[in-house]
């Protein structure tokens, strides 16, 4: 596999400009701060191939649905992650010629993502057709300390000429989404202003009226000397504002433009406040100055790394991979706004409308549970609680009782439109129930069930109870016409995972109701009235639990992915001739559907979630059967297999799959990182270290570990929060677990119990 980025523990380094790889680099070099994000696009004009992207959390557009054949139940519109005002732009003119590196010779090109300090840096020398050589150095960040601020330091160094350069920093609201269904333009201008020093632009989305207002200010230096008087003018056009700064230069000058930007939205302020707030914010930033802003930003990143870094010794690629994943997760979601969620592409691309998939509950929640105060994970649950009414409407629309959460959503409404997924990939409902259990189990906050959780559980159980059908002859409940996590087969009957999670949800709902009845009787009575829950409903759930049908492959003693799976021709991935993988790029859809190849963990997803139910032999048989048939063409796949491989002691396999998940985007493994990064699977990467190599589990309120050291590493360490205590875990020749802060914790290592206190760390020989 060709490596485009040099390995380094904290940097992603691209050396030499390869236009055909630009979109991938732009994705990898994306920056974000939870409030907004930008792809690694260039500041100056670039007429080559590029996906320009500036995104604002929670700002979306309901694009009219486009389908081949309309089916009742499809949503009318599809929420698009929206490309908004481009605030990074700085056009450069050198002695009358516009700088465009697609039209120059470019030497010494470097684009670097500094993950330790959260900025992107770029440098190159451009030689234009007049043989003028110009060195450009730029550095930018989206402040973690003040999420509404972005700053760029852009330096132009004429190397062999004198004359005039023009710098034109701008705000451009005339941007488009590449994936717009009807090539529609989504934005309208509300207001703009431009004078010699300050430019302001306010744009509004059509239909929903989201507003984004940006203001910019700038300052110019030659080396360290501020240049006060420039010949400037401003430009004010439809959806576009700019300053035009003319500067006479000679060879060896170093002209630096510091561009300060504020970006505020009417999700946080009223429309009337936007201009005022935006101008005030940028003025504050300008007054602080570039260095002070950078320092505050870096110190926030220091805090983040202190909380959730994973160190790996002896393997730079693995180290770079895990840090890249953690870095991108921290950039995407900071957890302080319960209206937001974690989109599969975060702030790095447009693909996948909507923001919230089952990915959040099944993959991302564990990361936030263990690396942040519990209110952050709780916010992710509250997000779904707040969408419960919409999920009930969605179930009603399809003719069912209870609640069916959407496959993809922005505001609680479904915005996915392929019948085999929208209507059939209903296992997602189970992940939402499981997340409640996961939160309660990890944090010990059982009261959440009474306050919020059980309402969601009851409505999901009602849906399952209505969606099953009873087969009299077999005396079993069946779930027909579904798509399991393996999207390489649709409309199957009795997907083992779906049946398992449906039945488990009902069990957990009953258990939760019993607990509330016992511990919070007053709340229980109120809930019964609010939910109109009757005994006969619960009795029905019990009947379904006891008579659920689970397909099984008798001779192999493994769970059968779905009815009929064994009718397929059984071929292993390793026996596919070269050039077939990835099958989703090389095969027709029909061929994929008929094959035995599995896109992502399906039976294994169930074994991962309900791990304690199965003995090691069962887990091994299922892993040995399904892994060789899995092509891992969803980014969500390798991490789950890696965790189970670790559990089984398949260290080599666990490591191989870890690298695949950790470096998925850096190495463009699935040839699709040009669209944007796979953000949600990054939490899976974290799990494959902490749950996989570290063996973390929470059983009966006890934190358990069973760590091992992958052969190519000399050591690794991670930190986790557990019920407000912060623990550090280091694994090399010894396993050392220390309490960094918070109350004493009872831990279990390889089935031995220890009490961890501030003065008593646990140290075990690991040889
Ligand atoms: C996967 C789904 C996932 C979605 C978004 C698809 O390729 O098959 O399981 O929810 O991507 O990440």
Task: Read off the pLDDT of residues 49-87 as tens digits, 9 standing for 90 and up.
Answer: 999 999 999 999 999 988 889 999 999 888 888 999 999
Q: Is the minimum distance from the CB of 356 to ligand 1 under 6 angstroms?
A: no
Residue at 745 is within a domain: yes
- Mean pLDDT, range 377-381, rounded to an integer: 96
Q: Is the pLDDT score of 110 beyond 90?
A: yes
pLDDT of amino acid 517: 98
pLDDT of amino acid 669: 86
Rounded CA separation 439/180 (Å): 37
The pTM of the full predicted model, rounded to 2 decimals, is 0.95
Residue at 171 is within a domain: yes
CATH number of the domain enclosing 121: 2.70.98.40
pLDDT of amino acid 230: 73
Number of domains making up the chain: 2
pLDDT digits (tens, 9 = 90+) for 242-269: 999 999 999 999 999 999 999 999 999 9
- % of the chain with per-residue pLDDT over 70: 99
Cβ pair 631, 599 in contact under 8 A: yes
Rounded CA separation 197/219 (Å): 9
Among 285, 315, 350, identify where a domain stops: 285
Please confirm whether the linkage preceding 582 is cis (ω < 30° from 0): yes
pLDDT digits (tens, 9 = 90+) for 614-648: 999 999 999 999 999 999 999 999 999 999 999 99
- Mean pLDDT, range 224-253, rounded to an integer: 93
Residue at 376 is within a domain: no
Rounded CA separation 399/731 (Å): 53
Strand partners, 602: none
Q: Which residue of 487, 597, 672 sits with most ligand 1 atoms within 8 Å of its CB, as the best mutation to test the pocket?
A: 487
Q: Is the pLDDT score of 116 beyond 80?
A: yes
pLDDT of amino acid 351: 82
Q: Is the minimum distance from the CB of 359 to ligand 1 under 6 angstroms?
A: yes
Among 251, 285, 319, identify where a domain stops: 285
Q: How far apart are the first and last CA of the chain?
A: 34
Lowest mean pLDDT among 66-75, 326-335, 466-475, 532-541: 66-75
Residue at 518 is within a domain: no
* Full domain range(s) for residue 747: 716-765
The contacts of residue 350 (CB under 8 Å, 6+ apart) are 51, 53, 80, 81, 83, 177, 178, 179, 675, 676
On the 0-12 / 13-18 / 19+ scale of CB atoms within 10 A, 393 is middle
Distance (angstroms) between ligand 1 centre and the Cα of 634 equals 6
pLDDT of amino acid 630: 98
Among the atoms of ligand 1, which is closest to the Cα of residue 487?
8
Q: How many CA atoms lie within 13 A of 274 on its CB side?
A: 23
- Give the residue numbers marked as catalytic: 487
Rounded CA separation 567/416 (Å): 31
Residue at 216 is within a domain: yes
Q: Is the pLDDT score of 1 beyond 60?
A: no
DSSP one-letter string for 643-706 = HHHHHHT-HHHHHHHHHHHHTTTTTTTTS-GGG---HHHHHHHHHIIIIIIS--EEETTEEEE-
Cβ pair 393, 401 in contact under 8 A: no
Cβ pair 204, 187 in contact under 8 A: yes
Return the number of other C-beta atoms located less than 10 Å from residue 530's C-beta. Answer: 10
Among the atoms of ligand 1, which is closest to the Cα of residue 634?
7
Q: Is the pLDDT score of 354 beyond 80?
A: no
Among 239, 263, 285, identify where a domain stops: 285
Among the atoms of ligand 1, which is closest to the Cα of residue 359?
10
pLDDT digits (tens, 9 = 90+) for 565-619: 999 999 999 999 999 999 999 999 999 999 999 999 999 999 999 999 999 999 9
* Mean pLDDT, rounded, of the chain: 96
- Mean pLDDT, range 273-289, rounded to an integer: 98
Which residue has a Cα nearest atom 1 of ligand 1?
A: 634
pLDDT of amino acid 156: 98
Question: What number of helices (H) and strands (E) belong to the chain?
Answer: 22, 34
pLDDT of amino acid 671: 87
For residue 657, give Cα distances in angstroms to 255, 454, 637. Answer: 47, 36, 9
Rounded CA separation 438/363 (Å): 11
Rounded CA separation 477/494 (Å): 9
pLDDT digits (tens, 9 = 90+) for 659-675: 989 999 999 988 899 99
Q: Is the minimum distance from the CB of 486 to ligand 1 under 6 angstroms?
A: no
pLDDT of amino acid 2: 64
Distance (angstroms) between ligand 1 centre and the Cα of 127 equals 44
pLDDT of amino acid 3: 78
Cβ pair 188, 210 in contact under 8 A: no
Residue 754's φ and ψ, nearest 5 degrees, are -140, 150
On the 0-12 / 13-18 / 19+ scale of CB atoms within 10 A, 451 is middle
pLDDT digits (tens, 9 = 90+) for 707-739: 999 999 999 999 999 998 999 999 999 999 999
- Mean pLDDT, range 384-403, rounded to an integer: 98
Residue at 760 is within a domain: yes
Q: Which residue of 486, 634, 669, 682 sits with most ligand 1 atoms within 8 Å of its CB, as the best mutation to test the pocket?
A: 634
Rounded CA separation 468/476 (Å): 10
Rounded CA separation 704/691 (Å): 10
Residue at 339 is within a domain: no
Residue at 549 is within a domain: no
Rounded CA separation 638/308 (Å): 22
pLDDT digits (tens, 9 = 90+) for 441-450: 999 999 999 9
């Amino acid at each position: 596999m060709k490596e485009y980025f040099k390995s380094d523990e904290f940097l992603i380094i691209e050396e030499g400009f390869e236009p055909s790889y630009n979109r991938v680099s732009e994705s990898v070099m994306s920056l974000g701060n939870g409030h907004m994000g930008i792809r690694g696009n260039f500041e100056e004009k670039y007429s080559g191939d590029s996906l320009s992207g500036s995104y604002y959390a929670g700002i979306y557009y309901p694009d009219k649905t486009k389908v081949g054949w309309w089916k009742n139940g499809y949503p009318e519109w599809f929420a698009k992650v929206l490309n908004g005002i481009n605030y990074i732009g700085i056009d450069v003119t050198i002695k009358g010629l516009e700088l465009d590196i697609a039209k120059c010779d470019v030497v010494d090109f470097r684009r670097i993502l500094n993950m330790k300090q959260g900025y992107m840096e770029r440098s190159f020398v451009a030689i234009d057709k007049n043989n003028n050589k110009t060195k450009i150095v730029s550095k930018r960040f989206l402040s973690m300390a003040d999420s509404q601020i972005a700053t760029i330091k852009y330096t132009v160094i004429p190397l062999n000429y004198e004359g005039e350069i023009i710098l034109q920093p701008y705000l451009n609201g005339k941007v488009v989404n590449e994936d717009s269904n009807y090539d529609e333009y989504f934005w309208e201008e509300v207001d703009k202003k431009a004078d010699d020093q300050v430019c302001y632009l306010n744009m509004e989305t059509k239909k929903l009226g989201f507003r984004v207002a940006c203001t910019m200010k700038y300052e110019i230096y030659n080396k360290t000397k501020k240049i006060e008087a420039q010949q400037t003018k401003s430009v004010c056009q439809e959806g576009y504002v700019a300053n035009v700064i003319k500067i006479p230069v000679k060879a060896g000058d170093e002209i630096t433009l510091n561009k300060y930007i504020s970006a505020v939205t009417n999700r946080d302020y009223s429309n009337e406040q936007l201009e005022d707030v935006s101008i005030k914010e940028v003025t504050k930033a300008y007054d602080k100055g570039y260095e002070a802003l950078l320092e505050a930003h870096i110190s926030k990143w220091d805090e983040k790394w202190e909380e959730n870094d994973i160190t790996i010794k002896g393997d730079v690629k693995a180290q770079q991979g895990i840090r890249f994943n953690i870095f991108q997760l921290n950039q995407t979601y900071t957890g302080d706004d319960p209206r937001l969620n974690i989109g599969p592409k975060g702030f790095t691309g447009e693909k996948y409308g909507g923001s919230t998939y089952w990915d959040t509950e099944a993959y991302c929640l564990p990361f936030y549970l263990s690396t942040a105060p519990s209110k952050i994970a709780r916010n992710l649950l509250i997000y779904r609680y707040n969408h419960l009414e919409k999920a009930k409407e969605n179930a009603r629309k399809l003719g069912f009782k209870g609640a069916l959460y959407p496959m993809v959503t922005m505001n609680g409404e479904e915005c996915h439109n392929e019948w085999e997924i929208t209507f059939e990939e209903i296992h997602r409902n189970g992940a939402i129930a499981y997340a409640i259990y996961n939160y309660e189990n990890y944090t010990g906050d059982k009261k959440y069930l009474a306050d919020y959780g059980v309402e969601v559980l009851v409505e999901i159980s009602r849906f399952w109870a209505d969606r099953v059908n009873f087969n009299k002859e077999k005396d079993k409940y069946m779930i027909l016409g579904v798509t399991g996590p393996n999207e390489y087969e649709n409309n199957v009957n009795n997907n083992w995972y779906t049946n398992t999670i449906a039945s488990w949800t009902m069990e957990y709902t009953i258990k939760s109701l019993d607990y509330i009845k016992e511990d919070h009787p007053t709340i229980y009575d109120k809930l019964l009235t609010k939910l109109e829950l009757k005994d006969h409903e619960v009795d029905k759930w019990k009947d379904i639990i006891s008579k659920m049908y689970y397909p099984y492959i008798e001779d192999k003693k493994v769970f059968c992915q779905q009815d009929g799976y064994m009718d397929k021709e059984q071929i292993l991935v390793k026996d596919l001739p070269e050039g077939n993988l990835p099958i989703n790029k090389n095969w027709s859809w029909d061929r994929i559907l008929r094959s035995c190849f599995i896109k992502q963990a399906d039976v294994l997803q169930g074994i991962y979630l309900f791990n304690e139910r199965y003995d090691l032999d069962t887990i091994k048989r299922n892993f040995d059967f399904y892994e060789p048939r899995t092509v891992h063409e969803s980014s969500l796949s390798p991490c789950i297999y890696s965790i189970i491989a670790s559990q089984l002691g398949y260290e080599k396999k666990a490591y191989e799959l870890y690298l695949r998940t950790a470096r998925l985007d850096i190495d463009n493994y699935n040839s699709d990182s040009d669209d944007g990064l796979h953000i949600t699977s990054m939490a899976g990467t974290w799990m494959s270290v902490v749950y996989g190599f570290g063996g973390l589990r929470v059983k009966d309120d006890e934190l358990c570990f069973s760590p091992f050291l992958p052969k190519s590493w000399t050591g690794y360490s991670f930190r986790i929060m557990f019920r407000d205590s912060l623990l550090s875990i280091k694994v090399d020749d010894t396993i050392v677990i220390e309490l960094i802060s918070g109350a004493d914790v009872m831990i279990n290592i390889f089935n031995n119990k220890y009490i961890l206190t501030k003065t008593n760390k646990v140290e075990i020989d690991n040889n």
